[in-house]
Structure 1
Amino acid sequence: MADDAAAPVAGTPGSGAAPRVAVLGASGFAGALAARLLHRHPHFELGAITARAEAGMRLDELYPHHRVPVELTTPDVDRIAEGHDVAVVAYPHGASSEAVAALHARGLVVLDLSADFRLTDPAVYREWYGDVHVAPDLFGTAVYGLPEIHRDALRGVRDGGRLIAGPGCFPTASILALAPLARAGLVQDAILDAKTGVSGAGRKLARTTHYVDVSENVHAYGVAGHRHQPEIRQELVAQGMDTGVQPVFVPHLVPVDQGELVSAYVRTTRPVDPDEVAALYRDAYAGEPFVELTGAEPGMRDVLASNVARLRTHVDPRSGHVLVFATIDNLWKGTSSQAIQSLNVAFGRPEDEGLLV
């Protein structure tokens, strides 16, 4: 071999090297689950896992059920960049951009679980987040990490921008629920009625939420405008929904640990019948390893601790509305296991590798 021959990049087919993955923010619900899945993954190698307040603890002390006997360390971008090929950044919105930009600049594949890189229009970002983006050069360059919609773009991550924006949990269920109708130009308007478990608030808020406020109670929140609403609209417009459509999205907190159910009520642009709608969804999700179409109303427990999205469609004969029900586990398909699914696609691995649990 010539001396100047390029060495294969770690994790690429034929390199013989497993990609080493760091998880930043592994003390949170999403980061801890990502670390668990990577620790057991047959191809990726879990490297550093970081936290600030919990540095020095082992993850299996903080989350015994994840069984990850790895010590949490203080985040150090230079150290992570030297010893890793991939970084999963599980920081809250606003705290993520700086670390993502620094790791991206050092050549790592970066998968961000915050909302910092999901939107593509700077004006929309300012409207909903009101911030000057910390990494404006990267804004709008990320691949949206929903494999069922953006599989081809994810396959090019290693050779292109090297940045993946993990979708929000509500957008994951909502987009999967409505994408087939959007592609067919059938969405005239839509109401998305979403229910989520307490873990959707994140570790800090979940642990300070009073049991008496949640138990035997359901309440709506974000009614004036939830930040996932523009993300849902952006992706549905990209799938073919008319730009004049503004879906209504209202989330509700329900007294469960984890899980999510989105009930979508869609007024269509023309009359449709059940067979046509069923065919649209069969064609859209044929062969998808993690989308199940069912004739029964799906429940959160159906998909608990899995990477599965379970959908059911129904055409109401009186109003003509199409009803679509989509349930996911908000911590798994809604966040962390979907991140691993995206990495599998990006690195040319079997899409279900490490996720059939």
Structure 2
Amino acid sequence: MADRPKVAVLGASGFAGALAARLIDRHPFFALGAITARAEAGTRLDELYPHHRVARTFVEPDLDAIGRDHDVAIVGYPHGASSEAVAALHAQGLLVLDLSADFRLTDPALYREWYGDVHVAPDLFGTAVYGLPEIHRDALAGVRDAGRIVAGPGCFPTAAILSLAPLARAGLLQDVIIDAKTGVSGAGRKLQRTTHYVDVSENVHAYGVAGHRHQPEIRQELGALGMDPAVQPVFVPHLVPADQGELVSCYVRATREVTADEVADLFREAYADERFVELTTAEPGMRDVQASNVARLRTHVDPRSGHVLVFGAIDNLWKGTSSQAVQSLNVAYGRPEDEGLPV
């Protein structure tokens, strides 16, 4: 195909960046350009991650060269390190998809509270399109014309927001508890190296109990969908002995009495035409969605307590990060949404 849009992946030695490079490398419309890494420059990606089968060599990041030679950049840096590169590439006219948290929030005070940093690109803060296509498809479709950045959602927020969006739109969220489980890849490649096998194997433990950084992101997006601003969802993640995958169990006290059929109808109406959301009558598990862009959801109304229960499973590296970025990129370019993405 002539004149295929060229996509650079910055931070391609990390879990998310490497997977993004793999998906772009196999994409029938986009062309993979530079893949960057500092410590691994000169090494091939398929040497670091043989299972991705990407025979490309990491290069040092050169933002000027990337800006000249590419149409799109996927930035896989950690929060705080990402915004400077995103701003520079955006200024050169590239469509930038940021996988960090640097552009997800819209309130700068919240960013400082949860990330403790002064944002290095304050003029761009709050201007990005939140890259969750099932919720922000129209904005993503116009992102190129508007010259906006795409802020890739966090993996936990992806699962939680998809699990709760139909209830938020219906004004049914009164009290919300989100009990989340994740595999160790959610900690990232650098931290996974310091996670001892004996601490993870045959063990489950909560973390971020005093406040996880994904909490304000979840609240922001559910609030935009109609959740009462006074509602403060409780969010507690747990580390489980799995490589990758996420399961959120959401316990909701509704604003009024609802039936199981009513809740099921809300979800069917919301996701009837969504290629990557599956509704099931069986409780979903992480393995059900492994290495796919699918979110698998199950609803239930407890007849004794009246609570609405929603269970959502995603692959944290795929739908939770990299394949969702490619899905957003497909939308931005008017391509079929599932192009280049295995179910």
Whether TM exceeds 0.5 here: the answer is yes
> Which shows bigger deviation, 229-238 or 159-168?
159-168
Report deviation, 1:260. 0.2
Partner amino acid for 2:112?
Answer: R
Distance in 2 separating the partners of 1:33 and 1:77: 21
Distance in 2 separating the partners of 1:308 and 1:297: 15
Q: What does residue range 67-146 of structure 1 map to in structure 2 within 5 Å?
A: 67-146=53-132
8 Å contact 2:127–2:148 — kept in the other structure?
no
Structure 1: 5+ residue stretches without partners: 1-10
Select the residue among 26, 29, 34 that pairs with 2:12: 26
Select the residue among 144, 148, 155 that pairs with 2:134: 148
1:271 matches 2:220: no
What CA deviation, in whole Å up to 9, does each residue of 1:84-117 have, x standing for no partner? 0000000001000000000000000000000000
Structure 2: 5+ residue stretches without partners: none
1:281 matches 2:239: no
Q: Alignment length, in residue pairs? A: 343
Partner of 1:7: none
Partner amino acid for 2:285?
Answer: G
Runs ≥4 in structure 1, deviation > 2 angstroms? none
> Which shows bigger deviation, 126-135 or 82-91?
126-135
Partner amino acid for 2:223?
Answer: V
Select the residue among 210, 216, 228 that pairs with 2:196: 210
Report deviation, 1:162. 2.8
Distance in 2 separating the partners of 1:255 and 1:226: 20
8 Å contact 2:299–2:311 — kept in the other structure?
yes
Q: What does residue range 1-357 of structure 1 map to in structure 2 within 5 Å?
A: 17-356=3-342
Partner amino acid for 1:193?
Answer: D
8 Å contact 2:44–2:58 — kept in the other structure?
yes
Between the aligned residues of both structures, percent identity stands at: 83
Partner amino acid for 2:208?
Answer: G
Report deviation, 1:161. 2.9
Q: CA RMSD in A?
A: 0.9
TM-score by length of 2: 0.99
Distance in 1 separating the partners of 2:161 and 2:6: 31
Report deviation, 1:356. 2.0
What CA deviation, in whole Å up to 9, does each residue of 1:65-84 have, x standing for no partner? 00000010000000000100
Partner amino acid for 1:106?
Answer: Q
8 Å contact 2:74–2:99 — kept in the other structure?
yes
8 Å contact 1:175–1:236 — kept in the other structure?
yes
Report deviation, 1:17. 2.3
TM-score by length of 1: 0.95
Distance in 1 separating the partners of 2:195 and 2:210: 22
8 Å contact 1:141–1:161 — kept in the other structure?
no
8 Å contact 1:142–1:161 — kept in the other structure?
no
Report deviation, 1:207. 1.8
